[in-house]
Every structure is written in structure tokens, then in C-alpha cells.
Structure 1
Amino acid sequence: MAAQDTRVEGRYPLLTMKHRVMLLARWGLQGPGRARRELPAAPPSAPRPPAEDISPRDVFIAVKTTKKFHKARLELLLDTWISRNRDMTFIFTDGEDEELKKQARNVINTNCSAAHSRQALSCKMAVEYDKFIESGRKWFCHVDDDNYVNVRMLVKLLSSYPHTQDIYIGKPSLDRPIQATERISENKMHPVHFWFATGGAGFCISRGLALKMSPWASGGHFMSTAEKIRLPDDCTIGYIIESVLGVKLIRSNLFHSHLENLHQVPKTEIHKQVTLSYGMFENKRNSIHMKGAFSVEEDPSRFRSVHCLLYPDTPWCPANVVY
């Protein structure tokens, strides 16, 4: 446990012990004498009426990855949800890969470090933000390389909000606002607290809001903003939007990360989710629980089975499968 505590203190030196424990919980670790707390499930919200007509071409999906996961994780995404959404998907990585470029249309080598450090993560997010602004698209959505994106449901959700307004939508991984210290000057600190959507579940930002973030996010500003509060990329996004700009996070239980118990996603609701994930939870394999086209051994992430549920006409999906 000592090594884990050091890891938190190294990345988050200005947080109180209480919030270090919260971040340990966020990473699936346990603090001394503290059990991991799961976020209570929010009641399902009523569908919002469409605010504007958008298509997948209006959405910029940024997938953050690292070169060592090109085969282990990205190939699964390229075979499943990315295969139907290549034009809207942009892969941000940290190393050249000619084979990946042949399979995916939009691969951006950020030239950021491959380390899983605060600085490396913020470096990639800075490039994602700038590329989105250049694209002229209406919506920016960030996901990780362990997320399945149900693009039909994503577009349906985003169409409920005008892209010109200030919209920040996703799912927190903590059960209270994060508290941090904002560095005002060399010797002056200021406490701040804000909600943020965890990057591991994915989040989306409207173009109207993204443009307002520019003074703190464009060019090299995102990394300097992250250093100001000494928190990772997804926390920094929340800081800019909630603490600096005063825009509140819109929570959606349709986004899912490996930090939650994915067995709790109802089987009858899987097709309605925006993102899914897989990984480990409390030292056990964590993925959605469903009957599908493939066994758990063949499809441990369950992404192939989900894909066949959503797109049964996929050539490699078995016919006549009962879900």
C-alpha cells in the first residue's frame, strides 16, 4: 500500500489525505482502513427532445492510446465500433505505426511521452483539443482505448443539446467535487473544488464551450493550466469548465468506465448506452454481463458481442444468436 500512496502523492502533491484516498478509490485501489465507495446509481433521466439535427460527421471522437496498446486494445476497436465510424474517429498516440495507419484513417502521433504521467496525459489532451478546433466540427468527444462507443446513441444524446451553447456532458468517478490547490503565483495558493467527468468513461464538449476554453486550453496553454493545479487531463478539463468558466457538468449515466462495476449495467439496457468499458474491478475481471455471440473466453471485453447485438449484419457475427 505504501507504493500506491507514493504514487498518489507524486501525481497529486497538493491534495489533502482525504482526497488522496478518494483518488485511490478512483483508480480501484484502497486506502488504509478504507473500503472503496461506489457512486450511487442516479435515477434514469427522461429523454430530452432533439435540439438540432446532427450526423456522425458533426462529431469528433478522440481516442487516446499509447503505442504498446496498438495491438492489445486498438485492434479490437478497429474491428468493432471504429470500423463503422472511421471518418469521425481520430486516434491520438505517442509513436509511429505504419500498420495502424493502414487500418485507421486518422492517426495522430502527438510526440508526447508514452508514460502514464500527469504531464504525458495532458500533452495528449492538448493535441486532441487543438485538432478538434481545427476540424470545425460541432462536438468534441474524448474516449480511452478501452471504451466501446455506441455512435448511434452518442449522436442521439448530443442532438438533444445545441452545439453553440455551453455543454459539458459525462460521468464523474468521485462522489463529491474534487478539491485541489490552484497556484496563483510562486508563493500564493488558492483552494478550488469542482466536478469533472472521468476520461475513462468518455465525455463530450460542445463547440461553443470549447471555443471559450481557448485561453486555458489552446496551444501550450492546456499543459500550463494542468501544472497550475497539478492534476491530470480529465481533471484539468473539469477545472477549466467548472471552476474558471462557471459551466456545470451535465451528468449522464450512459457513459461507463472500468472504475465502476459493469455487471450492474442491465442486460436489457446495453443497446442504449453511449460508452462501455472493461478491465479489472476489485481484483476481478470487469465487463458487462450478457449472453452473446461469443463466449467470455473468446470475448473477455464483451465488445464483439455488443457489436453483434447492435450490428448483426457484421460479416463475422454468427447468425441466429439469442441475446
Structure 2
Amino acid sequence: MRVANPYYVYYLWSKEVLIKRCSGSRGGRSMFDRYLRTIQLCMTGMVCVVVAVLLTYDWSPESSSVFVHSDILMAEFSEDLSSTIDKVNNLGKVVNSSRDAPQMDGKLVESTSTKSSKILSIPLEKAPIKINGKPLEKVNVNYIHNIYFSVKSCSRNYKTRVFTSMLTWFQVLDKDELAIISDNSSAVKPYTDIVRRSGFNLIISSCKDDHSRYGLCCKTGIEFSSYYKALEKHNDNKDRYQWYCHVDDDEYVNVPQLSHVLQQYDPSKPYYIGKFPWNLRRKFSENPYIRVDDDARVRIKQRNLTMMANHYQYATGASYCLSYALMMKGKDFFNGIEELTSTCELAGNTDDIAIGFIIEVILGYNLTDTEYMFNQYDELDDFSIEQISKFLTVSFYVKKGKTIHAVPLQYNIPGDRSRFMAYHCLLYPSVSWCPR
């Protein structure tokens, strides 16, 4: 026995009811037909509107990615940055198309505006940026603001290093006293937006993200040129940037203490202040110098330069400071990618060694070896709290998942792998997120 479809039965019943209601007037069935015709016209009109909308929408890959992910981006940046950073990184890889990436032409390049950056600007303006659950909090400290800092970094270190520095020692500086030099990577566009929205000067370069001689010297040349450009902007204030200090992104700078030490030297005279590398200090304990080899002598002669010394020292590339006078004397060797890479070729070494080579061998000025300017290879376990508070710089590195040679403090701050937050709290205990 065939079972009737209930929906079809309902349709027939409704039809008969409607016909009966219309039968009271002449031409009841024709009135029913007019009802059906009206409904058909309405349905046809709605279909036409939907088709028109679909035909006019831009279904390119970029626009479809933004359409899908815009609500996710809006929601995530209202949360804690540390809990959503990986998701945003993955979204950045989807949203940023290759045609939006700056061209690698060997010059300084700035990231171009994309649809994703427009989306990100909305939640970043509404929600405070947090790192490891902690807001960026300005620290007001009395010191002489005459130092220009450049921080060499790379795109892969934003999350692990740059953001921690933004939370800690960057907050001691005025924003125009600092430049962050990095490489170009469209995959981390959300990260670069966060740095810039925080007010810091991020310079995106075309330099490679590696530790080759050219890659390191390329970024160092941009670091130096950023200092000379900053001087031009403040040429009406002769005391503004009397010192240039280079810092790697795995260093924490005790800014007031460094300022105090630099006040002991006259910036109108050539000073090269830093720390000779620990490994060479041990290797050459009796005579800690590097001899100028024959190849370097030939290159010096070819450049018609005068060799002022047969041996030299250099400050480790983790951090060092040069006085205004020395920056002016070395400008022809330091200012820009072409100049600095040529300097590295002249010295036959990477950036930090080449700087020492130019200053001591060509210009004839000596390194001022400074205590407490520590790098990642210095062991810090035997220092007292009083000594630790007077460090100029501290650093760390990670080996097999374990943090090595970090500042020896016992503050238990979640996410503080580098111990920079603990050190920041030692120096500035009034910061709101420090342990009480």
C-alpha cells in the first residue's frame, strides 16, 4: 500500500481551503490563480536580487580571505596578546598576498598598506596591547636624554624578544630615542603592526634574515644611517644625540645606569665604549688583541688608507656605544648599507669586528673596555643584588630548551623566559604588574 506524502497532502488541503474561500465571489478559481501568480513574481524578484549581489562582489583570493577572517581578527586583538599571537601569525600568512610585499631592491623599504592592516587598526585602537598579560607601562626616570639606541632584530624574533623589550626597557625611553631595524617578512605583518601601533620606530629593511657577513653588515649600515638621519631632524638641538648605542634584541639595557656611565666621558671626543668578547679575552689573556693580517693590509693599501695600528680590539656586537665625535669621524665608513658592507669587506670580517677594525686600525682610537656591559656568554650567577642593579646590559640564550646565563633573580613571573621582566621589576618595582 502506497503511503501518501504528508507535505503533499497538506498542499492539496491548503489549495482546496483557499479555493473554497475564494469561491464566494465570482471567478473564485481565477482569483486563486492570481494569488499564485503574485507569489511567483515575488519569488522571482528575490532570486534576481541575490544573483545581482553575487555577481557584483569581488571574489579575488585576497578579498575572500579578509571576508572570512575579519571577524576573527577583530575579536582576537581584544584579548590578551600572548594567548592569541600564534593564531594571528597564521592569519597573517593568509591575509597578506605576495603582491602586497615590498620589493627587495637593496634599499630601505617600508611595508605597504594592506586590507589586513586596515582591519587590525580598529581593534588595536580600542583595546590596550598586552604582552604576557601585562600592559605596556611608561616608566618615568630622571636621566640625561642624549643617547640614540638602535636595536638589531629580525622578523622571527618579534614574539620572543622584541615584545619583551617593548614591555620592559623600551618603556624607559622616549619614542624618538630608539629605532628597531628588522628584515622584511609579509608573514609577520600583524606583529609589525603591533610594534608600530605602540609608537616605536620600526625600520623594515631589505636585508636578509641570516648571520652571513652581508646580512649582518647590511642591517648595521641601516642602524648607523638611522642615527645620522635622527641628527638631521634635531640639528637645532646639539645636545640631543651625543651618543649612539647599538643593542642586539636579546639585550636588556639599564638605561639610567648606562647614561650615568656615559656622563663620565666627553662626547665631543672620540670614544668607543664596549666589552671585549669573553672568548677572546680567555684565549688572549696576556695580549687580548687581533693582529691585522696580510690580506687586510693589501685592502687598506688599495683603498689608499693609512693603517694606524698593527693589532686591534673590538666590542662584542651585543652592545656598544660611540660618541658623537667618533660617529662623525667614521661617517664615511658607517653611514648606510653600501658603506658598511664595504667596511666589512675591508676588514674581512662581520659587523662588530669591522667596527673595531675601522676605529682602531684606520682611525687610530682605542676601545674603552667597560665593566658590567654583559652579553649572552657572560655568566652572572656570582653577583649580588646590589651589583645586579648596576649592570649596564644583561642578556640570555636558550640551549636545548633551557635558558642560559639569564639575570640571576628569583621573581616568578609567568612567561618571563629571558628574566627581563624580573630585572625590570628589580629596577622599577612600582610598575603595576610587578610582584608585590
Question: Which aligned runs of 4 or more in structure 1 are off by greater than 6 angstroms?
Answer: 186-191, 281-284
Q: For 2:387 and 2:377, how far apart are their aligned partners in 1? A: 19
1:184 to 266, 273, 298: 298
CA shift in 2, pair 1:119/1:151, >3 Å: same
Q: CA deviation at 1:85?
A: 1.3
- Secondary structure in 2 matching 1:155: helix
Between 1 and 2, higher relative CO (CA 8 Å, sep ≥ 6) is seen in 1
CA shift in 2, pair 1:183/1:307, >3 Å: same
The answer to whether the aligner puts 1:287 opposite 2:287 as a matched pair is: no
Tell me the TM-score normalised to structure 2 length.
0.56
1:212 corresponds to: 329
Q: CA deviation at 1:120?
A: 0.7
1:303 corresponds to: 420
Q: CA deviation at 1:267?
A: 2.9
2:376 corresponds to: 258
User: What is the root-mean-square deviation of aligned Cα atoms in Å?
Assistant: 2.5
2:50 corresponds to: none
Q: CA deviation at 1:271?
A: 0.9
* Residue identity matched to 1:140: Y
* Residue identity matched to 2:312: F
Q: For 2:154 and 2:406, how far apart are their aligned partners in 1? A: 22
* Residue identity matched to 1:251: D
- Secondary structure in 1 matching 2:389: helix
Q: For 1:244 and 1:192, how far apart are their aligned partners in 2? A: 10
Tell me the TM-score normalised to structure 1 length.
0.75
Q: For 2:396 and 2:419, how far apart are their aligned partners in 1? A: 8
Q: Retained in 2: the 8 A contact 1:259–1:281?
A: no
Deviations 1:252-292 (A, max 9, x none): 11200011212244332111111010115898722122233
CA shift in 2, pair 1:236/1:224, >3 Å: same
Larger-gyration structure (1/2): 2
Pairs within 5 Å for 1:1-323: 55-87=143-175, 88-95=177-184, 97-136=192-231, 137-173=241-277, 174-175=280-281, 176-181=288-293, 182=296, 184-185=298-299, 192-200=310-318, 202-219=319-336, 220-280=338-398, 285-292=404-411, 294=412, 298-319=415-436
Q: For 1:66 and 1:150, how far apart are their aligned partners in 2? A: 22
Query: Identity across aligned pairs (percent)?
Result: 30
CA shift in 2, pair 1:280/1:105, >3 Å: closer
- Secondary structure in 1 matching 2:378: coil
Q: For 1:104 and 1:177, how far apart are their aligned partners in 2? A: 42
Q: For 1:178 and 1:250, how far apart are their aligned partners in 2? A: 16
Q: Retained in 1: the 8 A contact 2:213–2:350?
A: yes
CA shift in 2, pair 1:117/1:104, >3 Å: farther
* Ranges in structure 1 where 5+ consecutive residues have no aligned partner: 1-53
- Secondary structure in 2 matching 1:312: coil
